[in-house]
A and B are shown apart, each in its own frame.
Chain A
């Protein structure tokens, strides 16, 4: 538990990806089974308890401390678990803190009534860091800023360092991904495989996630070399990529990042009455028309959407590939064969809440370009080009799939506020709120951009902001209205939540207009006029 608590604290505070990987690898290498597996489960969200309610914890703390001092302390610290972990009187107990395995076993087997006494005993035996980890684990509110994908990458690195790598075999994060959803904590067979002590865990039948095939953005040179006869084209839809897994082993909706989002989409899960693994775009659709991305956002990150929510924002999947038909793995087949298989399968099953992403007929690249430029529907981001002979390969292999986004829209906006970034950018003002002029002469914020500039431009922006600060609000600086940013964005939508009445999709800085006076930046009306 001590190693886990230390890991937790450092992961929470460490911004860098490589540093997080190093911390995780060290944990896997130094903590024995089964505790490392339980730790992994806790970090990836596979293990969470709601055994201890905040009221129980608060009650325990008030028994051990002065209630007035406790209240002042809680006011100061602001987080219950942290307050209790810090204020808990150092015990006269010489016991060791519990192991993670002991915590898990106890919480699973002991009746709720026994919990307060058990928890008090654990807190007595622990220091502040372990108390904090315990309380966060038991209240199901462990947030560490380490994604499941990061943990799997760390597992692959760990394998390379410790076991499989030394025997010449290599295990990638994708390999871990393929077995992951068939495993349960504390993952002892997984660690045995990674350390070359055991076979690859067999996920047969389980509704596991398969790493998706991703596309490269197409460059001018790729486009010039493209042979239209060997490619299929589809629209690139503005939803989120999902993998539908259904069969005797269960039904799952996975995001592109391997998160199991089934619970948020019970309407989709209900429609998975087949045996296949499919690739497609999750959208909100009404009468076959795709709704703006903002509608889909209403459905994301909800643990269990209400019936009303499901009716108001009906989810659908636009299918574009098939990975398994029944138990048959068809990923090695060429795209053209899989597409034919998908069409035949779809015609036969006609699953609810799904349709096929149509192929677009074209003869030349010039024709495609005309199509791409003509597509102005908000639901279309651009085109996908897929080589007809491409197998379905994990990751982002070169030369098979291309994405060709349509040119972004741009506005000339005025920089209003700047905030410092995180990690490597923590000393730079790198997050920019920009605004447009309203008819009454007021500048109103329309969005925030965090990217799009070069390192050199960032340095120049940072200096300009420091020299032109007119107000400070905590970490935010208000600047003089003197710098115009050309902001690129994929789409604009009306929004009642923003003062400006408009929300931009993926805004980023495309150019710094040092030359342009702020008064000549764009008007809000001009932007609003382009919206439906």
Chain B
């Protein structure tokens, strides 16, 4: 039984499955790619053929246009198996955003699972993570330090609503990444009883429409840009993190600037970003979830990628697993980053809003 070591390796393009001759979330154009989810650092344009869940394919078409940057797309429903050359591939829900999947690969009797990005906490907008027992588990480690324990998301949304009540004459603008986080915040607000229209930055609109088309109800959503500052007083506006403290937000009345991100756990991050109301809502596993998942999948060997690899490897080793770092480059945590970092601030051109 060949160890996954012998058939799964890192190449400049990304993680490569040799017997299936495909890459997982490659950062450069390749003939055949398996995509875990539609975030732009994982789903890039220009591949020959793309294999992903139907939801991920739909979200990629929204982001990149129908042509997917030239790729032909093959949708694989969660749970179904597909033989790709000498490998059997399954996509299993990862709980990160709508359509997000772990890639389960079986070859000659051994099984490897690539988690992609994932979380274990409940999310009304996507299917929950399912642990799959395996020989090698490749895990992300974005929040791979024990200081990261995300509080229940509904409590953070209560915090937001309490602030909306206290500052009824101001506009609350919540920075939320346009794919996944924005829709989750909307769904959480709806679950908390906020039935008023929710106003969105232009960049959020098309992805919300795709979510609705895929069966995720989000309620009354409106364009913030056309609503007029006066009508936004006392309301909640969602915008990409890059827009909340920059020129776009000047149109709002005395805004309370909030940001929904796992990094908001650390005060200094909030303070440096000019965030008045940090909301600790993350689509990545926190530290307890990372450890829980490692135990759940029962893999004797853990490969750790993007994030704080060092600490998670250390903790996995202490729990009796073999652990090593998988040096994959090119993935960032842009959906989690505070919007006022200088490098990000002009990411949204004014023409796009």
Binding site for B on A (CB under 8 A): 9-10, 12-16, 19, 22-23, 26, 65-66, 68-70, 72-73, 76-79, 82-83, 86-87, 90, 127-128, 132, 420, 422, 424, 426-427, 466, 472, 474-477
Asked if B145 contacts A73 (CB within 8 A), the reply is yes
Asked if A427 contacts B145 (CB within 8 A), the reply is no
The stretch from B92-100, B115-123, B267-275 touching chain A is: B267-275
Q: Complex formed: what's the CA distance from A456 to B318 in Å?
A: 61
Asked if B342 contacts A475 (CB within 8 A), the reply is yes
Asked if A82 contacts B267 (CB within 8 A), the reply is yes
- Interface 1/0 per residue, B227-253 and A, CB below 8 Å: 000000000000000000111011000
Asked if A69 contacts B146 (CB within 8 A), the reply is yes
Complex contacts, A22 vs chain B, CB 8 Å: 166-167
With A82-B266, A82-B268 given, is the CB distance from A427 to B250 under 8 Å?
yes
Binding site for A on B (CB under 8 A): 145-149, 151, 166-167, 170, 245-247, 249-250, 254, 256-257, 265-268, 270-271, 274-278, 308, 310-311, 314-315, 318, 340, 342-343, 346
Complex contacts, B277 vs chain A, CB 8 Å: 10, 13
Interface residues of chain A: helix, strand, loop or mixed (majority): helix
Asked if B145 contacts A72 (CB within 8 A), the reply is yes
Asked if A87 contacts B278 (CB within 8 A), the reply is no
Complex contacts, A424 vs chain B, CB 8 Å: 254
Asked if A86 contacts B274 (CB within 8 A), the reply is no
Complex contacts, A477 vs chain B, CB 8 Å: 342
Q: Which residue of A lies closest to B278 (CB)?
A: A13
Complex contacts, B265 vs chain A, CB 8 Å: 86, 128
20 sample A-B contacts, Cβ–Cβ < 8 Å, listed by A number: A9-B267, A13-B275, A15-B274, A19-B170, A22-B167, A26-B166, A70-B146, A72-B308, A73-B147, A76-B266, A77-B268, A83-B147, A86-B265, A87-B147, A422-B274, A426-B257, A426-B274, A427-B249, A472-B343, A477-B342
Asked if B247 contacts A72 (CB within 8 A), the reply is no
How distant is B204 from chain A, measured CB to nearest CB, in Å?
A: 19
With A13-B277, A82-B268, A475-B342 given, is the CB distance from A76 to B147 under 8 Å?
yes
Complex contacts, B274 vs chain A, CB 8 Å: 15, 422, 426
With A72-B311, A90-B149, A426-B340 given, is the CB distance from A66 to B266 under 8 Å?
no
Complex contacts, A19 vs chain B, CB 8 Å: 167, 170, 256, 276
Complex contacts, B276 vs chain A, CB 8 Å: 10, 13-15, 19
How distant is A10 from chain B, measured CB to nearest CB, in Å?
A: 8
- How many contacts A-B (CB < 8 Å)? 91
Complex contacts, A79 vs chain B, CB 8 Å: 267-268
Q: Complex formed: what's the CA distance from A16 to B254 in Å?
A: 9
Asked if B145 contacts A69 (CB within 8 A), the reply is yes
Q: Complex formed: what's the CA distance from A427 to B246 in Å?
A: 4
List 20 additional A-B contacts (Cβ < 8 Å) besides A65-B146, A72-B308, A86-B148.
A12-B271, A13-B271, A13-B278, A70-B146, A73-B311, A76-B308, A78-B268, A82-B268, A87-B146, A87-B147, A127-B151, A424-B254, A426-B245, A427-B245, A427-B246, A427-B249, A466-B346, A472-B342, A474-B342, A475-B340
Complex contacts, A76 vs chain B, CB 8 Å: 145, 147, 266, 308
Q: Complex formed: what's the CA distance from A73 to B145 in Å?
A: 6
Q: Which residue of A lies closest to B163 (CB)?
A: A10
Q: Which residue of A lies closest to B312 (CB)?
A: A69
Asked if A72 contacts B342 (CB within 8 A), the reply is no
Q: Complex formed: what's the CA distance from A132 to B270 in Å?
A: 15
Asked if A13 contacts B246 (CB within 8 A), the reply is no
Asked if B166 contacts A68 (CB within 8 A), the reply is no
How distant is B225 from chain A, measured CB to nearest CB, in Å?
A: 16
Q: Which residue of B lies closest to A74 (CB)?
A: B147
With A12-B267, A15-B276, A72-B310 given, is the CB distance from A86 to B167 under 8 Å?
no
Complex contacts, A72 vs chain B, CB 8 Å: 145, 308, 310-311
Complex contacts, A70 vs chain B, CB 8 Å: 146
Asked if A427 contacts B247 (CB within 8 A), the reply is yes
How distant is A430 from chain B, measured CB to nearest CB, in Å?
A: 13
Asked if B147 contacts A13 (CB within 8 A), the reply is no
How distant is A384 from chain B, measured CB to nearest CB, in Å?
A: 37
Q: Complex formed: what's the CA distance from A38 to B334 in Å?
A: 42
Q: Which residue of B lies closest to A65 (CB)?
A: B146
Complex contacts, B267 vs chain A, CB 8 Å: 9, 12-13, 79, 82, 132
Q: Complex formed: what's the CA distance from A366 to B170 in Å?
A: 50
Complex contacts, A68 vs chain B, CB 8 Å: 314
Complex contacts, B311 vs chain A, CB 8 Å: 69, 72-73
How distant is A144 from chain B, measured CB to nearest CB, in Å?
A: 12
Asked if A86 contacts B245 (CB within 8 A), the reply is no
